Amino acid sequence: MNHGPTDAREFLREFLRYYPRHADRQVLIFPASVTLPAVVEGLRDRPDVRVGIQNIHWEDKGAFTGEISAAMARDAGAHYALVGHSERRHVFGETDEQTQLKVAACFRARLTPILCVGEKLEEREAGETESVVLRQLRAGLAGAGAEHVAHILIAYEPVWAIGTGKNATPEDASRVHRVIRAELKALSPEKYLAIPILYGGSVNRANAAQLLGAPDVDGVLVGGASLDAEGWSAIVRA
C-alpha cells in the first residue's frame, strides 16, 4: 500500500531513466489497484516492463463491494496477478482454497498468476518448510491442467524473512526451489523446467545478485526495496 498515482508517475520517470531496455530479462511492476492505470500509461512506450495487480477476487462480478475481479484488472491493463501473497494469507486470512479459486479466475481472464508460497518461523523451526510449501502449492494449483500450470509463476516467500532484514541464504532458497521444481514436474512434465520460480524475502540491492545466481532461483519478488527507483533499478540490472 504505497505510491498513489502521482507518486507512481514520478517513480516511473526516475526508474526508466536508470533502467534502459534489456532483452534478456522480464520486469514486472505490481502497483496498488488505484494506481494501475497510471502505471500502465507510464509504461506505454516500454512494453519490456509489464504490469500486474496485487490481488483479485475469485468471482467474475457481483455484490462484493471493494473487490476487483480478474477481468477488471485485465481490462485496466494488468497482465499478471499475485495470488496468495504472504500478507494476504497472514494479515487478511486468505486460505489455500481461496488461492485455488483466484488462480482459476486468473486463467479465465487471461491473467498470469504468480502463486506465492512460504512458511512461518514456527513452521520452519518445526521442520515443516517442505510440507507447508507443498500443501500451498498443490492447493493453489488444484484442478489446473498441465497446460495451465505451464503458464504460471511461483514465488517462494519464507514469511520469517519478509520485512525482517533476514533472508534465506542462497542455499536455503535453492533447496526449497528444488522441492517446488520437483512438484511442478509431476504437474506439468513437459514444461516444468520453463516455469519461473522466484525468491521473495528481504531482497535488496546487496543480496540480489547472489540470490539470482543460486541454482533454481529464476528471479526475485521484491517488496520494500522496490520503492526506491534507483535502488530497484540496481536489483533489476543484477
Question: What does pTM read for this prediction?
Answer: 0.96
Q: pLDDT at position 161, please?
A: 85
Establish whether 177 is a catalytic residue.
no
Greatest Cα-to-Cα distance within the chain, rounded to the nearest angstrom: 49
pLDDT > 70: percent of the chain: 99
Q: Which of 119, 157, 177, 183 is catalytic?
A: 157
Task: For residue 5, count other CB atoms closer than 10 A to its CB.
Answer: 16
Q: pLDDT at position 113, please?
A: 98
Establish whether 14 is a catalytic residue.
no
Q: How far is Cα 168 from Cα 171, in angstroms, rounded to an integer? A: 8
Q: Which of 3, 85, 94, 119 is catalytic?
A: 85
Tens-digit pLDDT string for the chain (238 aa):
999 999 999 999 999 999 999 999 999 999 999 999 999 999 999 999 999 999 999 999 999 999 999 999 999 999 999 999 999 999 999 999 999 999 999 999 999 999 999 999 899 999 999 999 999 999 999 989 888 999 999 999 999 887 776 768 999 999 999 999 999 999 999 999 999 999 998 899 999 999 999 999 999 999 999 999 999 999 999 9
**CATH architecture label of 5-237:** Alpha-Beta Barrel (3.20)
Q: pLDDT at position 166, please?
A: 72
Q: In this predicted model, what pLDDT tens digit does every residue of 153-184 receive, in sequence order?
A: 999 999 988 777 676 899 999 999 999 999 99
Q: pLDDT at position 164, please?
A: 72
Give residue limits of the domains in the chain: 5-237
Burial class (CB in 10 A: 0-12, 13-18, 19+), 23: exposed
Phi, psi (degrees; rounded to nearest 5) at 187:
-85, -30
Q: Which residue has the cell 532484514?
A: 165
